[in-house]
Structure 1
């Protein structure tokens, strides 16, 4: 109560922070008349002036007001746009290294130009991170007009660039790109063998657009560069045949934790089934030799019990394609790790693709924490504020809208059954469509959207065929005449090809659009429809000329008329058919309505059979509602219900946060080791010669050999002389009279150690002289780097396996995280020992053939990069190195060799920028892969 009173008197913490920016906004506004009088050349000269002041020691923050005023003026002259005062505040928040929460449609792209310009003056590079290649290109060209006008260089990182182009883009003052491209470039840089080949030049300042999507949703899975392993499809298919024979009591499913485990009876039953199938050939299931089999059984069990077709994934062109739970988009090219994707392929009886071995990986959390300063912007971050603060040390500041929000958010309606809820939604759709109000109906999965679509068809509605250019004519006619059209559109992962057009026309009066998750769609819903999109879609067949011009004028006039009708009907009405686990996704759906002061309305319809309600104790509520006499088709509507549901969502969010935080704690262990390895690699590459390191390694190997076979304080008769002699031959390639040394009167371990070192140094010096010092300098560096990379990859695999089983230590009352840290440290210590031994052993035996040395090439690599706008894999499923193609039996020179131009089923994955396999000569994205 006291807190609420204090908030009324003093304002919230957010309000108080916003007040601190007002004087600086006033100072920027005061500079506007002076700045506006400058000529273009004088305005451009301000950049040099600011850089000179920085060089003299002036702090960056002291330049904020004049720099922001200069950017605002440049935006007016290049784009015809002037930053609002609230946008200036958003820019200041970003400059301070915080998150600007700005409603959808408030101009975040323009806001980013302010801190980007200011921080680029330091000359260390600013990275602007977007969610897809399209936005990276668009923003670099669109906002790049401001930067180039002011004398700054702009680069863009998109898929398909070679290393020289990437290095040039990173060398620019400002670099646009996607989170995936930045992360993959970091990993690839740390697999190079020469500093000159590296493309990134540091991590100074980054602004992340859609920060909640990238740093929360995308951060659930790491970025991985991988290479192919042996085919194990027989194992997956064999286990899949066995699994359906399990009965209900053989396993327990925990829906809340998204976990499944075998019971004691289940363990015995699966062991018996595996023996009968010939998959378990020796020992019991839980013997160490069968650890891989146990892992694949557990993954198959997860695939069958926790993953639903058309909700978590769909089958498309004979492939299991993941559906992103937050955006509802297909994610072709992205695969579940640790054999889960192969288990799903076996379950659905499609071709099981080979697994990959991780060559390098990093989580987005750890990649973005490399930056000296990090900032972000989004429309929905407040619900994840604790996570941003805890993980990234980022504060969330809510920026007020330029025009007050006029949307009305109504209380939820809760029904007892899903069938009653569907009937209520259809009644609401008919009621709103009757008065010409456009409707956006949000669902949580493809399955739910198709159920609703079938229900609408039963009630006389027709599904719009967007492949027909005239399909929307009945909708436009009905809107002009003020009657419902009885037509509807479906937007989900099955209809990505028409996504942009479907969204663009969702604001036509009376339009009904069913959408699976609206997060980050990238296309605005404009009341009355989108004139530009209609012109492209409907007039594509017309050449430029009077007829086309007349049609364009007609379409624009029609859209303006329809907009007025949509406004009069109350604007866009958003209906939610179910609450999502995250409040943020619900808010994103709501945010589609009531933009830039437009009227709007939103309401959620729920049932006790919804996943969220069912998991959080709907049985008790159902019993209570029946006792209260709630009749069929009646709903309960009360703010208390909203609060109860919000608390359930908060519980789920907190649980998911704990899971991500726990994953990060484990990843931090590997991250500390990764930083050591990557830093050491860079030092090796930067040195002209690593001879000193090689000498130190050789001496350490000698120390280890002696310590291993001559324990401290042991008598000579207790020494392991045969073992010492064997190790000297194995690791140092030396045949020495060690047995004779040990017989000498009064000899000590120290004397033997020195003799071994002297012999090893002499042997190596002789090898250097024989092969030439210059050549050996090159060989030493390459052997050291390649051996380090090989052992690091093996170490990553071992850590992955350790992480999967370490949780069982909890049953022994031991903290799994501490156990993991301890064992990971011991494994890393072993990695260093093995590195010393293998490098020494190899160099003590190396013989150089005098010919032109070949540059070492990177290992076979595969990577995925999903375009969030289209759901397409920008890498096209093609390996990122020719060696990887060869390893997989693919022709790197002619990827279309096995494709029949007349049979799209043989094309497989086609890269967006590849020539279309049909033989048209166009790029795939402009031909068969084009968006409708």
Structure 2
């Protein structure tokens, strides 16, 4: 019996079917225009672009221009790349233009799909950003697709880390800009720390197409982007705490793997208190429960987390004497990323590498709030439907499943569950060896570097030739993925498994051609290509006969999407393929989520050594466990976003205010308003409303005005005059301060005064915002405890954050007013002294540079007046990565700055 829902779907179709059906008339319009665009010359395609731009500028809707724009773009791609977009690719482009997420299976050509909506939306002249998951893909896609944009008369650029400023600025000015999510977010933060509009990189946030949208907007959304600066060095504290943690017994702490949380028990606290007191970290008579111990308690907690929750070669690797984090979703190294709040330093202490100083936050933003800046957002991926609710709730993005060009021919087998990990790995090795002998290529998915290398050692014992792709071999990623479809190839990969690079049966022709030409540069490229294409075609047939690519997963991941991504590597464009998951009751997901019941069932069934249970019910129960974890992770992200939304409103105000200041030609009026507001506050404070004259604090007002405004006025006398009220005193102060500042403007000259006001305003805003971010971080870390008093922590955070923000604005006005009142032109003697100081600095830097080239601005700061190369006491405070001022040519941290 079919349920009512199933009957309704049969009659009316699913909502997804109806969306797909609605695009068919548009696809037919694009197809009908093909005959009109094919005969056009290359120059005519560019003329059509100019015509479409003009119509868009005159107010014609982009929806009306879509059929012609898509037809023009399809023709340009056919000519430059030899690729004629399928109807389903045009359909995907339409969904992206409408601001949806297009779910398209692996190998369906998403890279080409993005060019259609990007071209259409770039006609407005506001720029389009195409966002990728890594720098390699950004550069590859930009280089590849720039041929299409160039043929259409449009510019295409790419943004990447450590890019020269002029090049980056030019890339952002292009019609279409390829970049990673990290670089876009960081550039947004950097732009809002600049002091001149000319130095800013980004233009409007008009339209973004996010490739691998699930990875960027879901997986990475739990971690905010932070730009930070160094704080005080606490290496000794981390080392002392690290020495104590291994001494803890099992009853000293509680470990909760489900929530990835670890806490001390009462016994643990008592044990720590004794050891901290012995080590001299905890002052005599002070306990861990005293407010003064907050910092110590915080770092002791981080030390415990570093030892019990973070594992080497799973969560991080140690490389070149530094701890490099591993992305849990992609298995890639995250160079430059550091854990906050002293956790990274605790891991560095645990591993015995150089401990780098903690950082203070200068600016931060979450990916959710960065991507919500765009007027229109779209995305594409092979796996998004499982997270459709989150995309809708957070980003207002619908998910549409685009049909495949050819039916999927992949066979997805039921999961095989073994009692122990040993039995599972024995079965995996046997299965890989069997497929390898038949010439079937195998892609083996693992969840960590450690497990990928363990499996590699097992295959070595069996003499099975294979490649390993994990964060240690990420430089060879493209090569390993290109070879993964060759007959009999065995590739062990972490989750990074080449997102964005197709595994082609028989091997990747372009990669083989490139290698052949590198080996024999004198060979004829066309002959080489023809020979390799023939070889690859024959290899492809062998692989097809062997059953296509076999994806063998060694574990279920927390997220169904990651499993589906791995499955999706096989069966591209209608190719045959096969996928299977081999699990054991000792796997993390099975162990944490209810394996005991399953273990009891398997015991009762009397399963023999090496036997597996294979049943659809097992799949269903596993998917339920995964859905629970996904739900919990969604709640974490939602909570993070709720707290960040509070800060985001304030961030928008501050960043908007900075931009207004940078755009303004004359800030005298803003400075005057601030000054008058400060005067109002001072008068209200010392001459309260509806008070008698004998209650006025004339002396206090005199001191405050002298300090804040730099004005020495007879205020005490004013307060004793008959008939003078607070309004009269305000007016006199307004007038005196305005005349005083007008005199300063005349001394400096109008142009100089404008620049001074601008720089003081921006610098003060930045300093205040940094302090405010630190306050919010501290507030966020303690506000959760309000829940014990039956008060909503989020509401408490909102209220207190608002009060802090108001206080910040008040102190901002006072600081700007005070600084402007204190500036004065330098006397001739002071100017000469300053020039002499700069010259001395320059010559000291140059003499130091002869011994070793300076590295960045910190080297220049170290060579201050009075600098003596042989005397460390005169070196100031060199950065740990700068050249050592002694002239040895080594880094400071490896020379005089080496930790004892």
**Same-fold call, TM > 0.5?**
yes
Separation of aligned partners in 2, 1:771 and 1:27: 66
Query: Residues 493, 157 of structure 1: CA spacing in aligned structure 2 closer, same or farther, 3 A cutoff?
Result: closer
Q: How does 1:136-151 map to 2 (within 5 A)?
A: 136-151=138-153
Q: Residue in 2 aligned with 1:345? A: 348
Q: Find out whether 1:841 has 2:818 as its counterpart.
A: yes
Q: Residue in 2 aligned with 1:327? A: 330
Structure 1 residue 16: deviation in Å? 0.7
Separation of aligned partners in 1, 2:227 and 2:597: 48
Partner deviation per Cα, 1:300-330 (whole Å, 9 max, x = no partner)? 1111111111111111222111111111122
Between Structure 1 and Structure 2, the one with more helix by share is 2
Q: Is the 8 A contact 1:518 1:588 kept in 2?
A: no
Please identify, of 612-621 and 726-735, the stretch whose mean Cα deviation from structure 2 is larger. Answer: 726-735
Q: How does 1:397-796 map to 2 (within 5 A)?
A: 397-458=400-461, 460-461=462-463, 486-534=464-512, 536-537=514-515, 540-545=518-523, 557-745=534-722, 747-796=724-773
Q: Find out whether 1:368 has 2:371 as its counterpart.
A: yes
Q: Residue in 2 aligned with 1:64? A: 66
**2:5 pairs with one of 3, 6, 10:** 3
Structure 1 residue 20: deviation in Å? 0.2
Query: Residues 879, 231 of structure 1: CA spacing in aligned structure 2 closer, same or farther, 3 A cutoff?
Result: farther
Separation of aligned partners in 2, 1:13 and 1:269: 61
Q: Residue in 2 aligned with 1:92? A: 94
Structure 1 residue 247: deviation in Å? 2.5
What secondary structure does 2:614 align onto? coil
Partner deviation per Cα, 1:589-643 (whole Å, 9 max, x = no partner)? 1111111111111110111111111111111221232123233222211111101
Query: Residues 124, 327 of structure 1: CA spacing in aligned structure 2 closer, same or farther, 3 A cutoff?
Result: same
Separation of aligned partners in 1, 2:60 and 2:547: 53
Q: Is the 8 A contact 1:891 1:897 kept in 2?
A: no
Separation of aligned partners in 1, 2:655 and 2:107: 41
Query: Residues 615, 883 of structure 1: CA spacing in aligned structure 2 closer, same or farther, 3 A cutoff?
Result: farther
Separation of aligned partners in 1, 2:4 and 2:764: 64
Query: Residues 434, 768 of structure 1: CA spacing in aligned structure 2 closer, same or farther, 3 A cutoff?
Result: closer
Partner deviation per Cα, 1:206-250 (whole Å, 9 max, x = no partner)? 111111122122222222222222222111111111222333222
Q: Is the 8 A contact 1:519 1:588 kept in 2?
A: no
Query: Residues 422, 162 of structure 1: CA spacing in aligned structure 2 closer, same or farther, 3 A cutoff?
Result: closer
Separation of aligned partners in 2, 1:389 and 1:881: 47
Please identify, of 412-421 and 730-739, the stretch whose mean Cα deviation from structure 2 is larger. Answer: 730-739
**2:879 pairs with one of 872, 877, 888:** 888
Separation of aligned partners in 1, 2:505 and 2:826: 73
Structure 1 residue 429: deviation in Å? 2.0
Query: Residues 88, 618 of structure 1: CA spacing in aligned structure 2 closer, same or farther, 3 A cutoff?
Result: same
Partner deviation per Cα, 1:749-790 (whole Å, 9 max, x = no partner)? 434433433333333333333443442222111111111111
Given the two structures, how large is their TM-score scaled by the length of structure 1? 0.87
Q: How does 1:382-397 map to 2 (within 5 A)?
A: 382-397=385-400
Separation of aligned partners in 2, 1:198 and 1:363: 20
Q: Is the 8 A contact 1:101 1:382 kept in 2?
A: yes
Partner deviation per Cα, 1:669-710 (whole Å, 9 max, x = no partner)? 111111101111111111111111111111111121222233
Q: Residue in 2 aligned with 1:469? A: none
Partner deviation per Cα, 1:334-362 (whole Å, 9 max, x = no partner)? 21122111110001111111222222221
Aligned Cα root-mean-square deviation (Å) = 2.8
Q: Is the 8 A contact 1:157 1:177 kept in 2?
A: yes
Separation of aligned partners in 1, 2:510 and 2:209: 30
Q: Residue in 2 aligned with 1:112? A: 114
Query: Residues 704, 352 of structure 1: CA spacing in aligned structure 2 closer, same or farther, 3 A cutoff?
Result: same
Structure 1 residue 175: deviation in Å? 1.9
Separation of aligned partners in 1, 2:528 and 2:130: 39
Structure 1 residue 722: deviation in Å? 4.3
**1:122 pairs with one of 121, 124, 145:** 124
Separation of aligned partners in 2, 1:351 and 1:651: 39
Separation of aligned partners in 2, 1:20 and 1:594: 28
Q: Find out whether 1:212 has 2:189 as its counterpart.
A: no
Separation of aligned partners in 2, 1:883 and 1:808: 46
Separation of aligned partners in 2, 1:265 and 1:722: 58
Structure 1 residue 263: deviation in Å? 2.6
Structure 1 residue 880: deviation in Å? 9.9
Separation of aligned partners in 2, 1:618 and 1:237: 39
Separation of aligned partners in 1, 2:507 and 2:313: 30
Given the two structures, how large is their TM-score scaled by the length of structure 2? 0.90
Structure 1 residue 553: deviation in Å? 6.9
Unmatched segments (≥5 aa) in structure 2 = 836-854, 864-877, 896-900
Separation of aligned partners in 1, 2:488 and 2:812: 69
Unmatched segments (≥5 aa) in structure 1 = 462-485, 855-877, 907-932
Separation of aligned partners in 1, 2:353 and 2:796: 39
Q: Is the 8 A contact 1:28 1:65 kept in 2?
A: yes
Q: Is the 8 A contact 1:410 1:602 kept in 2?
A: yes
Q: Is the 8 A contact 1:29 1:69 kept in 2?
A: yes
